[in-house]
Amino acid sequence: MSGSGGAGSAGSGDSSDGGGSASTAVLGDESSRERDRLRLSRALFPALAASLDAALERATGFGAAPSAAFDTRLDAEAAERFAGAGLAELSGRAGGSRLERAFLTVGVIVRECFEVPGLALPEPESFAASGVDLARLAELLEADPALAPVPAPHGLGAEAWQAAFRAASLRPGSPFAADPGPLVLAAEVAREFGLLDLAPSDPGGQVPVAQNTATGAVWTLRLIPASPEPETLGLNFTHSAPHATLPEMLMLQLMRAIEGEAPLDGGDGRGSFTWLAGMLAEGRLAARHVYDAGSIRITAREIGSQGPHLGARSPRA
């Protein structure tokens, strides 16, 4: 998800040749980023891409190769659907590009997977106004490629998330299975889902949030460790805190599915579990997340439980 920087060649004694190599590397890196951006636009907006492909064929004949102008139009129309003006000051930075990509991906998920009337992803400016330091997030992303920016809505309820995962399971190449269901909740989790659906807090106070007034949803923007297994393993719920919220983990899994990446906690064939923020059964139980056989499964265990494959993905903000 992050861009890579071009490297200049070692000097050979001819300064003009060395400068040319560095320039070529930079141009190549920029070209690669543009190709990546276009591929992402096509993946995230298949209907738009198909419509423009058809229009191009009608204009130039069946099977004509897309022109540079066509590619530019597709990229521009995708950009119009992304309210990213708040990230303008981070333009050209790898961390800024990863934030932009996250907003673009979640915007598609909100439109194509969720069935919640009025639900909308707040603009980056809204997060900044609430106290989120976008520049700081970009710095953290550049320092640790395993982190993933995750805009996540809290307060939607279990049915909204289950409907979103059902919609995601219908997309071509989805890792989610229709049977027994793409999102499976244990009885304890389903009964007290609202306790896991709350916006997070930290020891210093409430985490900055952006409100979605039409739905009552509360959005957060934090960085979640997205390595295949949790970064901290072997500790119980209390000793491995703080934890990602259930909505953050669910959105992160949807983002990875949309972008064609393997699900966390089992998608690579290794089994691991991630503790989730919030406690159930009057503080006796905590929820944990795993991907297994095409389903995201949320189960509950005693807060003192621990094991070599159970751990935490502590958010950064």
Average pLDDT over residues 201-229: 86
Q: Is 111 left (phi over 0), alpha (psi -120 to 50) or beta?
A: alpha
pLDDT band at 285 (very low <50, low <70, confident <90, very high): very high
Show me where the domains of the chain are located: 27-59+68-81, 97-312
pLDDT tens figures, 64-94: 344 455 455 545 545 554 444 567 777 778 8
Q: What are phi and psi of 308, to 5 degrees?
A: -65, -20
- Please state, in angstroms and rounded to a whole number, the distance separating the CA atoms of residues 152 and 106: 8
Residue 66 tokens read as 């897309």
Average pLDDT over residues 240-250: 95
Question: DSSP class of residue 180?
Answer: S
12-21, 46-55, 169-178, 190-199: segment of lowest average pLDDT: 12-21
Average pLDDT over residues 32-42: 56
Full DSSP string of 10-68: PP-S-HHHHHHHHHHHHHHHHHHHHHHHHHHHHHH-HHHHHHHHHHHHHHH-TTPPPPH
| Three-class DSSP category at 276 | strand
* Mean pLDDT, the chain, whole residue set: 80
pLDDT at 255: 97
| Three-class DSSP category at 290 | strand
- For 247, how many CA atoms within 13 A lie in the half-sphere containing its CB? 25
36-40, 134-138, 194-198, 213-217: segment of lowest average pLDDT: 36-40
pLDDT band at 317 (very low <50, low <70, confident <90, very high): confident
Task: Determine what percent of the chain is predicted with pLDDT higher than 70.
Answer: 71
pLDDT at 69: 54
What is this structure's pTM?
0.76
> 284: Cβ–Cβ under 8 A, 6 or more apart, which residues?
302, 303
pLDDT tens figures, 19-35: 444 433 433 454 555 55
pLDDT band at 18 (very low <50, low <70, confident <90, very high): very low
pLDDT greater than 90 at residue 214: no
Q: Which residues pair with 290 in a beta bridge?
A: 297
Beta pairing, strands 310-312 & 273-280: parallel
- Please state, in angstroms and rounded to a whole number, the distance separating the CA atoms of residues 70 and 73: 5
> Nearest to residue 120, comparing CAs of 44, 206, 210?
210
pLDDT at 204: 61
31-35, 152-156, 186-190, 227-231: segment of lowest average pLDDT: 31-35
pLDDT greater than 50 at residue 212: yes
- Please state, in angstroms and rounded to a whole number, the distance separating the CA atoms of residues 250 and 237: 19
pLDDT greater than 60 at residue 222: yes
pLDDT greater than 50 at residue 52: yes
238 or 249, greater pLDDT: 249
119 or 69, greater pLDDT: 119
The alpha helices in the chain, defined as continuous H runs, are 15-44, 46-60, 68-80, 94-112, 124-130, 134-143, 158-169, 187-191, 193-196, 246-258
pLDDT greater than 80 at residue 164: yes
